[in-house]
Structure 1
Amino acid sequence: MTTNKPLKRHPALHHLSHDHHQGLLLCWKIRQGFKLGIDPQRMKVYCEWFWENHLQAHFEEEEKLIFPILPEDNPLVKQALSEHKRLRRLFSDWENVEKTLRQIEEELERHIRFEERILFTDIQEKATSTQLEAIAAQEVREKFVENGEDPFWVIAT
């Protein structure tokens, strides 16, 4: 029986993996919202907040600092950029709120798993110590602070 070993992430990339954790929690919150029968409009408000205050900057950081470690024509980078583009569209097009929420939940989770398991592993293996130091030097960001205005994912007691 094979077991999956935990991924060892270089310290310079820890903050991005923490961002990914928050993104996976967003996916869980959306699933939980549907499970609890929450009005999709409430979930949309939270997703817009999450995009504006968290995910948008995360994508920009990856695109400016992380992806350039690999060649521009690298298929993994191309896939990540394509997924970023698709997710940007989803977070800006709310014509059918329920459908968009379901797509965000599905596509964001798949994207994060791809970056953590495949892309970041490759980047970490190929990055020079100078490149990793440059990434670490940029890590002057505030920690994630939850928006507690409407925690729709919590079961009221």
Structure 2
Amino acid sequence: MEKPKPIKRHEALQPLSRQHHFGLLFSWKIRKGFAKEVSISRMKAYADWFFEKEIQPHFKLEEEFVFPVLGNDDPLIERALKEHREIKELFEDAEEPSKSLQILEEKLTDHIRFEERTLFNRIQEVASKSEIEKIDEIHLQISTREEYTDAFWEN
């Protein structure tokens, strides 16, 4: 079986793709936490921190700068926005955190794969020079990453 060619990501979208990498790591850490039978409260605390520090700002940047390239009526954008709402609801669910975290780690991974393999490729194809320049401005809004102190996935 032939290995798929790596995606050549436009430089303006690379910071968002790097954030996607951290989202995939989040999902991996949650999977590890379940495998190691880490308490749900520890994993939920990490999820709450990740949502505030990574997911909310990331979604805001995508929705404000990237998605307008295709417009809200585009089926790919409709899907991305729907998935953003679903992911947000899973992060915010305090009633059944165990169930939500299990669903979240899969849904977030699937969403990131969709954005990287499909949505961002389409945006790269159709974005004008001025739209790319506007997306490129978000480099300044992406802050340096903080590290979470309770590395439950390593224990």
TM-score (norm 2): 0.96
Q: Aligned residue for 2:53?
A: 53
Alignment of structure 1 residues 74-153 onto 2, 5 Å: 74-140=74-140, 141-148=142-149, 150-153=150-153
SS of 1:18's equivalent in the other structure is helix
Give the deviation of 1:2 after TM superposition. 2.4
Contact persistence 2:27–2:109 (CA under 8 A): yes
Contact persistence 2:44–2:101 (CA under 8 A): yes
Q: Counterpart amino acid of 2:2?
A: T
SS of 2:37's equivalent in the other structure is coil
Q: Counterpart amino acid of 1:84?
A: H
Q: RMSD between aligned alpha carbons?
A: 0.9
C-alpha distance in structure 2 between counterparts of 1:108 and 1:94, whole Å: 18
Deviations 1:100-143 (A, max 9, x none): 11011011000000000000000011111211111112211212
Tell me if 1:72 matches 2:86: no
C-alpha distance in structure 2 between counterparts of 1:117 and 1:137, whole Å: 23
Give the deviation of 1:72 after TM superposition. 2.2
C-alpha distance in structure 1 between counterparts of 2:8 and 2:31, whole Å: 28
Contact persistence 2:26–2:105 (CA under 8 A): yes
C-alpha distance in structure 2 between counterparts of 1:99 and 1:72, whole Å: 31
Which of the pair is proportionally richer in helix?
2
C-alpha distance in structure 1 between counterparts of 2:94 and 2:107, whole Å: 15
Q: Aligned residue for 2:38?
A: 38
Task: Extract unaligned runs of 5+ from structure 2.
Answer: none
Contact persistence 2:61–2:138 (CA under 8 A): no
C-alpha distance in structure 2 between counterparts of 1:65 and 1:118, whole Å: 17
Task: Extract unaligned runs of 5+ from structure 1.
Answer: none
